[in-house]
Amino acid sequence: MDAKLRSKMRQEISALHKEVNATILYVTHDQVEAMTMGNKVVVLDQGVIQQIGSPKDLYENPINKFVAGFIGSPVINFVDVTVEVADNTITIHSKPDFLLEMPISAYPELAEYDGQKVCLGIRPEDLKIVDTDTQQGFSGSFDFVEYLGAECNILMRLRSGQSLMLRTHNSQKAEGVVRVLPSLDRLHFFDIDTEQRI
């Protein structure tokens, strides 16, 4: 089905669900269908249940990297970072592209990863372009701007060669080095080995 027909089908199935007031089991590989139609979503990977919860809970509190990467469009950004703890401050960095300092109270569970690498997950909408002269955040250049009307998806290329996806309302293509800052209260951290949420 084309995109418009699929959208209409989702609306009709949702309306039918309300009308019959019965439990409906809907199996799909399409995360958009799961997120828009489900009251409770079960995410499976190779037949193994990864997480059960509301669409909002799965999106905001993914239990592992698989769930975080499956839910959301554009997909979440993953960056391996090193954790350093000193006094009451946690510093996470990935040289030469990224530096972020925050109080240890923001993510106290990271204290046990002092000197180790963890995987940082950031949703595209949780990255903001900053104009101020700061060393914090990511630095890189914009490769591609996908204009979608009300919003834009921007592909940012870091000096390491890795790319990040941003979602913003600003359609202007910035020239030269650009710095973006993640929302401190919207970060996701995962253990490198187990890929479980920290």
Indicate whether 94 and 149 sit together in one domain: yes
Q: Is residue 141 in a domain? A: yes
Confidence bin at 172 (pLDDT 50/70/90): low
Residue 156 contacts residue 138 (beta carbons within 8 Å)? yes
pLDDT at site 49 = 97
Mean pLDDT, the chain, whole residue set: 89
pLDDT at 174 over 70: no
Confidence bin at 173 (pLDDT 50/70/90): low
Indicate whether 128 and 187 sit together in one domain: yes
pTM here?
Answer: 0.85
Q: What is the mean pLDDT of residues 149-177?
A: 82
Closest CA to 147 of 172, 178, 128: 172
* DSSP E strands, the chain: 41-45, 48-53, 77-86, 89-94, 98-103, 117-122, 127-130, 137-147, 152-158, 163-168, 178-182, 188-191
For 74-95, write each residue's pLDDT tens digit. Answer: 899 999 999 999 989 999 999 8
Indicate whether 89 and 182 sit together in one domain: yes
Q: Is residue 99 in a domain? A: yes
pLDDT at site 73 = 85
Note down the domain range covering 139: 77-191
Indicate whether 130 and 173 sit together in one domain: yes
